[in-house]
Copies of this chain bind each other. A is one copy, B any other.
Amino acid sequence: MAPLNVLIREGDNPDLTSERLKGTFSTELLSEAIYGGKKKVQRRREIAKYVDDHKELQDEKPVDFMSREEKIENAARKVVAMRKHYFNCVQNDDKDEAHYYQGLCTHLDGMPIGLHMGMFLPTLYTQTSDEQKEKWLSKAMSLGMIGTYAQTEIGHGTNLRMLETTATFDKTTDSFILHSPTISSTKWWPGNLGKSSNHSIVVAQLYVDKKCYGPHTFLVQLRDEETHQPLPGITIGDIGPKFGINTIDNGFLRFDHYKIPRTNMMMGHSRVERDGTYVKPIHDKVGYGAMVFVRSVMCLMQGTFLGMAATIATRYSAIRRQGVINPGQGEVQVLDYQTQQHRLFPQIARAYAFFLTGKHVRDMYYNVVQNLSEGNADTLPELHAITSGLKSVVTHQTGLGIEQCRMACGGHGYSQASGIPMIYTVAIGGCTYEGENMVMLLQTARFLMRTAAAVRANKRPSTKGPSQFDYFFVPGPRQCRLGQVMTEGESVQAMIECFEHVAKRLTLRAYDRLELRKNQSRSKEDTWNDTAVDLTKASRAHTRVFIAKAFAKAVADIKDFAVSKAMTDLLHLYLTYEIVEIGTSLLEDGFMSGEQLASTQKTIYDLLEKIRPNAVSLVDAFEFDDRQLHSVLGRRDGHVYENLLKWAQHSELNKSDVLPAFHKHLGPMMKEARSKL
């Protein structure tokens, strides 16, 4: 019989093979469950094989040893190669395949056309008039130009209304004059703006006849198409190294009365006519979908990041031996320590929770897009409400989880060879970009306060179809039901009730506090600020309910018995771990008793033991290719130590036995000191 874990190969590290033989379920079937079927999994392998077979899609040396300049050149080289091989490798322009192909060729920390693909093209699609599409789209799609999206300024981020860059209509020349009036108006941060792009969407305050119409978007050519030199009136460059994502040339941009044709304003929704007449958009939710898109896929992305880190740390914990538990029995795999399991297994559980919730939210997004195209915007608010909170909760927990994975690898986790530092610095950026996390939580809170008002007014809003807020209008149990005799499904339900109870209570408490304060002397806005921390707590609680339900639903949908059993253990670990994390909120009002909480804690320990034999197979089922992980510690074959040595040979410091600078500084100093002895 073929082994249940399909990653076993001859010659692998025997500790890893023996772990893989312990697994109780078919990793193949779990991979199919999470990637959408046998065909999808098969295609992933074919794509990986294709990239394996084509050297020009690969790095000549690990990027860890490259300067930023080399990294960016390397990535540019691969963009050209990826474009060349694209249709040999990706079938039917399939999005999942394209995404996987790119992930195998490039690194998590970016590439020169990242913003072009993620922001420039989508904006050209959604915000242009038909003539503009005709004029720009095929050039952009074929990479005849590379564009980015310049919105953020050095002094202005979240608050678009305060952007300072101006676009002033000049009727005489039928053009807009772009200008950066202050230092704080300097565009700052847009990815690929510094060096790679020759065009950009620019967000600027529109002025016509001295009247400001607020921020609008413009297509701006930044550099000469042949020489790539910045055009006169444009100052542009790279903003320097960052925590991570250093293969991206985030840039700055200043305009000195820079003229563009009037027709370069994005005229899909609003426009300025030849005579200066401003035509406003039909309705103001337009273009809203694109922003929500990035947040919709962030949950999936973050689940992937956490899954990668968990894969590396779990595999390494299976091959790393350190310390003795029972004298005379030799050193044990560090995966055998309860503290190590308690550190790692919840991360595996969260990785799956976020990944599967992410898939669910992406489906919601496609559904919203479909509805919007039919003129129906009903489902948009539901998506907006959850993606804001989800982005915040998931990026935060993912960051913490990745760091736990890194530390679980001991000293070697700290080396770039582990691959985890890069995963962390890329993932943690998500806490800040696409809407800072606190701001995001407060957006979800606005929806919750509306719901709370409805609860307090005893008026359930009518919705077409189910809503994530439905549970607010259903009385739950007054006492936590955990500990009663119940089935598997009932116990999951009882845990979700805990989350619902806390979400309701924290939401209504924040609402009541807001109402109470409104009746005092503070302004409505001050009151909101005074209650902000409580509001963020309510948003986190509501988001927890959403994730728990999505994860539980995805696990319930698994058909294979053995896979279902293993994933049910993981779901239980996820749920019980969350319960212990919010123990305070559950105990505070007597909903849960101290005994129930203690017993939940004990359940966690039992689950760690149950999950232990499946740990490696659970991460293996993500089927991350070694090319995606870029990790010596997380290699599929488990041959870590000899490859650490090989990896280190690339160090620039190892180019010579003695650093040339030695004879300038330390050498003469030591010699002088010795001469005086």
Interface residues of chain A, those whose CB is within 8 Å of chain B, are 64-65, 67-69, 72-73, 76-77, 79-80, 83, 112, 138-139, 142-146, 152, 154-159, 162, 183-184, 186, 188-189, 194-196, 198, 223, 225-230, 237-244, 249, 252, 321-327, 331, 336-340, 342-343, 399-400, 403, 406-407, 410-411, 413-417, 421, 424-425, 428-429, 431-433, 436-438, 442, 523, 525-526, 529-533, 536, 580, 583-584, 587-590, 594, 597-598, 605, 641-642, 644-645, 647-654, 657-659, 661-671, 673-674, 676-677
* B240 pairs with A650, CB closer than 8 A: yes
Q: Find chain B residues with CB under 8 A from A225 CB.
A: 670-671, 674
Say yes or no: A243-B67 contact (C-beta < 8 A), given A76-B665, A529-B337, A676-B142. no
Say yes or no: A432-B403 contact (C-beta < 8 A), given A240-B647, A241-B65, A338-B529. no
Copies held by the complex: 2
* B76 pairs with A145, CB closer than 8 A: no
- Name the distance in Å between A321's Cβ and chain B's nearest Cβ: 8
A424 to B406, CA, bound (A): 14
* B526 pairs with A326, CB closer than 8 A: yes
Q: Find chain B residues with CB under 8 A from A184 CB.
A: 641
- Sampled A-B contacts (27; CB under 8 Å): A65-B240, A67-B67, A68-B653, A72-B661, A139-B674, A142-B677, A143-B669, A145-B670, A154-B641, A157-B322, A159-B322, A184-B641, A186-B645, A194-B651, A226-B671, A228-B658, A228-B667, A237-B649, A240-B650, A242-B421, A252-B645, A339-B532, A339-B533, A400-B400, A410-B436, A421-B425, A588-B598
* B658 pairs with A227, CB closer than 8 A: yes
Which 10 A-B pairs have CB atoms at the shortest separation, nearest pair first?
A583-B584, A73-B661, A238-B653, A144-B673, A587-B587, A243-B421, A76-B665, A144-B674, A588-B594, A142-B673
A12 to B572, CA, bound (A): 56
Identify A239's interface contact among B343, B597, B651, CB under 8 A: B651
Other than the given A240-B417, A407-B431, 8 more pairs (CB < 8 A) read A72-B653, A73-B661, A223-B658, A239-B415, A240-B415, A240-B650, A338-B530, A340-B438
Q: Is the interface of A mostly helix, strand, loop or mixed?
A: helix
Count chain B CB atoms within 10 A of each CB in A77, A326, A588, A666 and give the residue with the most.
A666
A196 to B139, CA, bound (A): 54
A401 to B196, CA, bound (A): 35
Residue of B nearest to A593 (CB): B588
* A67 pairs with B652, CB closer than 8 A: yes
* B69 pairs with A659, CB closer than 8 A: yes
* A242 pairs with B416, CB closer than 8 A: yes
A424 to B597, CA, bound (A): 34
* A242 pairs with B415, CB closer than 8 A: yes
Say yes or no: A580-B584 contact (C-beta < 8 A), given A159-B323, A243-B416, A415-B242. yes
* A399 pairs with B403, CB closer than 8 A: yes
A228 to B667, CA, bound (A): 8
* B525 pairs with A326, CB closer than 8 A: yes
Say yes or no: A670-B338 contact (C-beta < 8 A), given A588-B598, A659-B72, A665-B76. no
Q: Find chain B residues with CB under 8 A from A415 CB.
A: 239-243
- Name the distance in Å between A229's Cβ and chain B's nearest Cβ: 6
* B76 pairs with A146, CB closer than 8 A: no
* A241 pairs with B416, CB closer than 8 A: yes
* A411 pairs with B669, CB closer than 8 A: no
A271 to B308, CA, bound (A): 49
